[in-house]
Copies of this chain bind each other. A is one copy, B any other.
Amino acid sequence: MSATSPAAMTGVVFKRLTALKPLSPGQAQRVEALGERLDAAAPGAMLQSEGDGLMRPTFILSGWACRQRLLADGRRQIFSILIPGDAVGFCSDPSPISSASTVALTKVTLATVEPLAGGLTSSAQSSAQDQWGFADHMRLSACLEEGLLLDHIVRLGRQTAYERTAHLLLELHWRLALIGRVEERRFAMPLTQEVLADFLGLSIVHVNRTLQQLRRDRLIEVSSSHVALLDMAQLTLITDYQPPSLASGT
């Protein structure tokens, strides 16, 4: 987090966006410029694109976060896990109340795209306007995210703890690979078992047991916040995993 050069930090955003759709030179430049105005947040802090009116791309440059909701009695459900390169919580309609809040899971660095130079707010079409020059990417990103939400619903509704856990690991593997954070099927995963539990709809204890089962079955290896997938074929089979399609129909 500390002494990394701005270029290294914005790299993840570049990779993430490029995977969705190639960036124009101008866009690439603006992504690089992200490195200028950084925001930091400590674990547990709420990240909210403060009712900014309209959506304004804000990216996680480093660290992990999540979108979650709390029930009245304290139960927590995590909707999605956010990794570097991901855009942070904005729905075109910034619903005031607790629809979902975005929370840092580790120390996090954020950067927000600045609006384009004034006068360009041309065309009539009111709201959806692309004052930031990333409308296409944001739309594709929203699609990708919807797909992830659907995957999550399947996990929670129809898969066993064992399948769920493995499925999540495959998802993270895929997403982290996209931003170049996987080596030899091994990646860092700075999540406590409590977070995993609240994401997977399980109890902490059972997450623990399930991870151990996966380990005993020689499917994964876990060591101090690092995970290695030992048998992708088998994992894919067990979990019925299908990586998101990035085919931009446009």
Interfacial residues, chain A to chain B (CB-CB below 8 A): 51, 53-54, 69, 71-73, 75-77, 79, 91-100, 123-128, 130, 135-136, 139-140, 142-143, 146-147, 149-150, 152-154, 156-159, 200-201, 240, 242, 244-245, 247-250
**Pick from B77, B93, B100: contact of A248, CB under 8 Å:** B93
New A-B pairs, 9, CB < 8 Å, besides A93-B248, A125-B125, A127-B250: A69-B150, A69-B154, A75-B158, A77-B158, A92-B140, A95-B244, A97-B242, A123-B123, A127-B139
- With contacts A71-B154, A125-B130, A157-B156 taken as known, whether A250 is within 8 angstroms of B201 at the C-beta atoms is no
Q: Which residue of B lies closest to A127 (CB)?
A: B250
Q: Do most interface residues of chain A lie in helix, strand or loop, or is the interface mixed?
A: loop
- With contacts A157-B201, A250-B93 taken as known, whether A240 is within 8 angstroms of B128 at the C-beta atoms is no
Q: Using Cβ atoms and an 8 Å threshold, which residues of chain B touch A150?
A: 69, 79, 99-100, 149
Q: Which residue of B lies closest to A152 (CB)?
A: B153
Contact B139 A95 (CB under 8 A): no
CA of A73 to CA of B238, assembled, Å: 11
CB distance from A34 to the nearest CB of B (A): 23
CA of A60 to CA of B3, assembled, Å: 56
Contact A140 B93 (CB under 8 A): yes
- With contacts A75-B158, A128-B128 taken as known, whether A245 is within 8 angstroms of B91 at the C-beta atoms is no
- With contacts A125-B130, A150-B69, A158-B75 taken as known, whether A99 is within 8 angstroms of B139 at the C-beta atoms is no
Contact A153 B154 (CB under 8 A): no
Contact A143 B92 (CB under 8 A): yes
CA of A54 to CA of B143, assembled, Å: 13
Contact A240 B72 (CB under 8 A): yes
